Amino acid sequence: MTEEIIIAGFGGQGVLSMGKILAYSGIMQDQEVSWMPSYGPEMRGGTANVTVILSDERISSPILTHYDTAIILNQQSMDKFESSVKPGGILLYDPNGISHHPERTDINIFQVEANAEAAKLGLMKIFNMIVLGGYMKVKPIVKLENVIKGLKKSLPERYHHMIPDNEKAITTGMGIVKQIREV
Amino acid sequence: MEKELRLMKGNEAFAEAVIRAGADGYFGYPITPQSEVMEYLMAEKPEERTGMIVLQAESEVASINMLYGGAGCGKRVLTSSSSPGISLMQEGISYLAGAELPCLIMNAARGGPGLGTIQPGQADYFQSVKGGGHGDYRIIVIAPASVQEMYDSAKIGFDLAFKYRTPVLVLTDGATGQMMEKVYIGEQHPRLTEEEIKEKYPWATTGKSGGRERNIITSLDLDPYRHEKHNIKLQEKYKTIEENEVVYEEINIEDADFAIVAYGTTSRICQKTMQLAHEKGIKLGIFRLISLWPFPKKEIRELSKKVKGILCVEMSAGQMVEDVRLNSVDGAHIQHYGRMGGVIPSPTEIFDFFEKNYIKD
């Protein structure tokens, strides 16, 4: 199994850290992982994206043009990456701030209203974890227990008290994700 | 002992690895895309772990000359930078090579020329393997292609540097430097004590203690005949390195009809290109250079006899391809594909070029 993912949005939305948590989770379940960020000047206040690959085999290219899954968190990223989802693949997005919704009919499209939900909970910091929950529901590759293990390993101990909030955010995301187009 | 597993950037893995390889000192000046090396070292405070010194110098020129001083005392010293910074160090590297001083230099290359861009590039190949500084000298150049290899390159690099008393360059690029992968962290090798340095490196300037001649570290000799002798000695050393230190990896080369030659980040990208070829029933293999200098001359010659065509892929206008052509048999079909200015080629565009130029009908 190899899963090739692009996560794209604004700098500050937690795009890179969400990718990092996915990569850590992959390690926790004995997979090969790679995490390749965009590190250009566009990161400062602009768009940010990261390519994450989880695989049972040695990973070849960490840089890709087509993805099994695209997780899209702003309009610029939708414009850039909608066409890069492999036919039959998954596009998961937060409709907040999206004016041109995806039009492809050969991919599975899901929405997760993570921004609205995070605002409702008054916890904007866990926005990305709600999105991650949505992803974990539609593509159950990483197990929740491994995500939690990954968080414990990647976060300094002084932040471990926030792990329950993150876990809650993931289960929330799993609950609110909805499919809007099926191949 | 079970090795510790971490998720790290290439730059961070290299920084942790130099501490564990028993380095005595790091001297550097920040530049994207390798600033994480010093950032990691500063945060990690290796002086509390092993006594290793980390110093931000006032410039790249100062850094490389601090290496000259440290290495002259037999210490394991290193610096890291990115393309424009490495250019500034070339005079110092020539001096280090001339004075036969061991040290480790890491270049997370970016697109050039000039200040260029902060995105990855491989256009420093000529500078790295043909001597960016003046004079008849060579340095060992190794090109890691994964975060684990970034880690491993620290100990390998130091060991080669001291084995041959030569600067060793780890040539990577912004992509492998910034990318995170899992990495197995090895054991902590202790720093050498002053006594151990005196014993292992009798050439080092450790303070004259009775009975021996003075050790002189210099690249200057005004007597041309004596200096020619020194040059001959250097050339003999380079020949020994060429005979013993060639490293490469062959991936599906055994029954290949065609081969891609690449190193570092592009060799990873080309592995995906290879998969695309295999899906179409084309026998494409990869010959990955690990040591850029010494160059695998004999192996490339054999490869050029064996396959119908070789495609060289680099993030440059075509530099390594010159060495591939030079060492191939006459009439071999060799082409170059590359992107410049910080653009990373995609596996599919490489495949499209390959298919168009190598697979007729």
Does B13 share its domain with B160? yes
- Alpha-carbon dihedral of residues B144, B145, B150, B156, nearest 10 degrees? -30
Does B275 reside within a domain? yes
The tokens of B281 are what? 């029933």
CATH number at residue B26: 3.40.50.970
Is the Cβ of A152 closer than 8 Å to some Cβ of chain B?
no
Q: How far apart are CA B139 and CA B92, in angstroms?
A: 13
Residue from the list A32, A39, A41 with its beta carbon closest to the beta carbon of B178:
A39
Does B46 share its domain with B170? yes
Phi, psi of A156 (to 5 degrees): -60, 150
Does B346 reside within a domain? yes
Residue from the list A40, A41, A60 with its beta carbon closest to the beta carbon of B271:
A60
Chain A, 57 to 76: residues with Cβ < 8 Å from chain B are 59-66
Sign of CA dihedral B228, B232, B237, B243: positive
> Residue B282 to residues A65, B35, B305, B336, B359: CA-CA distances in angstroms?
21, 41, 18, 19, 9
Q: Return the bridge partners of A181, or none.
A: A109
Work out the pLDDT band at B211, boundaries 50, 70, 90.
Answer: confident
Side-chain half-sphere of B109: how many Cα atoms within 13 Å?
30
Is the Cβ of A81 closer than 8 Å to some Cβ of chain B?
no
The 10s digit of each residue's pLDDT in B241-286 is 999 999 999 999 999 999 999 999 999 999 999 999 999 999 999 9
Residue among A35, A36, A25 nearest A139 (CA): A25
Q: Does residue B2 register a pLDDT over 80?
A: no
| pLDDT of amino acid A62 | 96
The 10s digit of each residue's pLDDT in B216-227 is 999 999 999 999
Residue ending a domain, among B194, B216, B242, is B194
Q: Helix B60-72 to helix B90-98 angle, to the nearest 10 degrees?
A: 10
Does B142 share its domain with B288? no
CATH number at residue B266: 3.40.50.920
- Residue in chain B closest to A150 (alpha carbons) equals B7
**Residue B142 burial (C-beta neighbours within 10 Å; 0-12, 13-18, 19+):** buried
> Residue B209 to residues B69, B125, B192, B198: CA-CA distances in angstroms?
19, 43, 19, 10
Q: Does residue B125 register a pLDDT over 70?
A: yes
Inspect the interface and report whether the beta carbons of B118 and A35 lie closer than 8 Å: no
The 10s digit of each residue's pLDDT in B40-73 is 999 999 999 999 999 999 999 999 999 999 999 9
The tokens of B179 are what? 């990318």
Does B216 reside within a domain? no
Q: Does residue B361 register a pLDDT over 60?
A: no
Q: Is it true that the peptide bond before B33 is cis, omega within 30 degrees of 0? A: yes
H or E stretch covering B180: strand B180-185
Inspect the interface and report whether the beta carbons of B181 and A61 lie closer than 8 Å: no
Q: Calculate what percentage of chain B has a pLDDT beyond 90.
A: 96
The 10s digit of each residue's pLDDT in B289-322 is 999 999 999 999 999 999 999 999 999 999 999 9
**Do the beta carbons of residue A140 and residue A121 sit within 8 Å?**
no
Name every chain B residue with its beta carbon within 8 A of the beta carbon of A41.
118
**Do the beta carbons of residue A179 and residue A110 sit within 8 Å?**
yes
| pLDDT of amino acid B210 | 75
Sign of CA dihedral B76, B95, B156, B85: positive
Q: Does residue B13 register a pLDDT over 90?
A: yes
Chain A, 111 to 150: residues with Cβ < 8 Å from chain B are none
The 10s digit of each residue's pLDDT in B337-360 is 999 999 999 999 999 999 999 997
Residue from the list B119, B181, B346 with its beta carbon closest to the beta carbon of A34:
B181
Does B107 share its domain with B171? yes
- Alpha-carbon dihedral of residues B293, B151, A146, A96, nearest 10 degrees? -70
- Residue in chain A closest to B269 (alpha carbons) equals A61
Does B254 share its domain with B188? no
Inspect the interface and report whether the beta carbons of B274 and A60 lie closer than 8 Å: yes
Inspect the interface and report whether the beta carbons of B182 and A32 lie closer than 8 Å: yes
Q: Give the single-character DSSP code of B256.
A: -
Does B169 share its domain with B313? no
Name every chain B residue with its beta carbon within 8 A of the beta carbon of A65.
346-349
Does B179 share its domain with B284? no
Does B177 share its domain with B257? no
Does B114 share its domain with B262? no
Does B263 share its domain with B142? no
Does B67 share its domain with B156? yes
> Residue A22 to residues A28, A40, A128, A165: CA-CA distances in angstroms?
10, 22, 11, 17
Counting as low any pLDDT under 50, the low residues of chain A are none
The tokens of A131 are what? 């999105």
The 10s digit of each residue's pLDDT in A34-87 is 999 987 665 556 789 999 999 999 999 999 999 999 999 999 999 999 999 999
Inspect the interface and report whether the beta carbons of A27 and B271 lie closer than 8 Å: no
| pLDDT of amino acid B208 | 85
Does B244 reside within a domain? no
Domain extents for chain A? 2-181
Residue ending a domain, among B172, B194, B216, is B194
Q: Return the bridge partners of B171, or none.
A: B107
> Residue B208 to residues B24, B61, B191, B212: CA-CA distances in angstroms?
21, 29, 22, 7
Q: Which residue has the tokens 């101990």?
A: A157
Name every chain A residue with its beta carbon within 8 A of the beta carbon of B265.
62-63
CATH no. for A2-181? 3.40.920.10
| pLDDT of amino acid B212 | 82
Name every chain A residue with its beta carbon within 8 A of the beta carbon of B32.
39
For the entire predicted model, the pTM comes to: 0.96
Q: How many domains does chain B have?
A: 2
Inspect the interface and report whether the beta carbons of B180 and A27 lie closer than 8 Å: no
Does B352 reside within a domain? yes
Does B296 reside within a domain? yes
Does B225 reside within a domain? no
Does B148 share its domain with B259? no
- Alpha-carbon dihedral of residues B52, B49, B32, B342, nearest 10 degrees? 100
| Structural domain of B256 | 250-358
Name every chain A residue with its beta carbon within 8 A of the beta carbon of B119.
40
| pLDDT of amino acid A44 | 58
Exposure b/e, A90-119, CB count within 10 A at least 16 = b: bbbbbebebeeebeeeebbbbbbbbbebbe
For the residues B194-205, what does the mean pLDDT come to? 96
